[in-house]
Amino acid sequence: MLRQRFVLDTSALTDSATREKEGYKTLCEGINSIMDIIAEARLSYELSCYIPYPSVYNELCGFIKNNGCEDEVIAKIDTWLVKKTPDRYEVKIPSKIFYEYVDYMRSRINKGMTVAEDAIWEAATDCLFLTSRAQDKKNIEIEIERNVIGSVVGKFRDKYRTALRYGILDSGPDIDVLLLAKELDAAVVASDMGVQKWAEQLGLRFVEAKSFPAMIKEYLQHKMKV
């Protein structure tokens, strides 16, 4: 029987959509409950969950501490998740993937530049319109600062985030998740769209974070029937 291996991104345990779907009230409750499921699956089904060390492990521990979770949550992570550093020198990535990623990054950067240009034009046009109608210079400066600049910056942030971050690997932990999964021939568990996109490009199995607890429960139910 093929032994199931999973490599967990931080979002595999911290995803808000998972908490909503499973009925967990807090991040701490969610992580604690998912770790209990993983522990049972490891003992009953020989299912192994890995976490890249130290990058993703430290990131996850930071989430746990910042949310005031009890020490037993980290103890469960140390016990039931296999901490492993990906072999960054031996894991081979096809050069075509590297080429496609650079090309993809260029297209996203160009979209980000377009968003920035639109924001500049919008701000300049609004400021010019208000200035042309203004009689009180001091009040118009306050109105521009509060209304025009604040509105434009807010919209720019949302559009820029959408344009530049979708499908992007924007951190070392993201890359470590993919490298470790490639090394182990394991499935990736995450809610990050960038991780999902490039997991698929690398031919890796991908499990959405919000579906992971239910999938493990299904394994366990099948084991009980057998």
Q: Is 212 exposed, middle or buried (0-12, 13-18, 19+ CB in 10 A)?
A: buried
Amino acid 140: pLDDT:
58
d(CA 138, CA 140): 6
Who's near 155: CB < 8 A, 6+ residues apart? Answer: 119, 122
Amino acid 225: pLDDT:
57
pTM over 0.85: no
What are the residue ranges in the chain where pLDDT is below 50? Answer: 1
Q: Give the containing element (helix H, strand E) for 49.
A: strand 48-52
Amino acid 134: pLDDT:
56
d(CA 13, CA 16): 9
Amino acid 143: pLDDT:
57
Buried b (16+ CB within 10 A) or exposed e, 35-68: bebbebbbeebebbbbbbbebbbebbbebbeeee
Amino acid 63: pLDDT:
92
| CB-based contact 51:74 (threshold 8 Å) | no
Backbone angle region of 110, left / alpha / beta, with phi > 0 → left and psi within -120 to 50 → alpha: alpha
Amino acid 39: pLDDT:
95
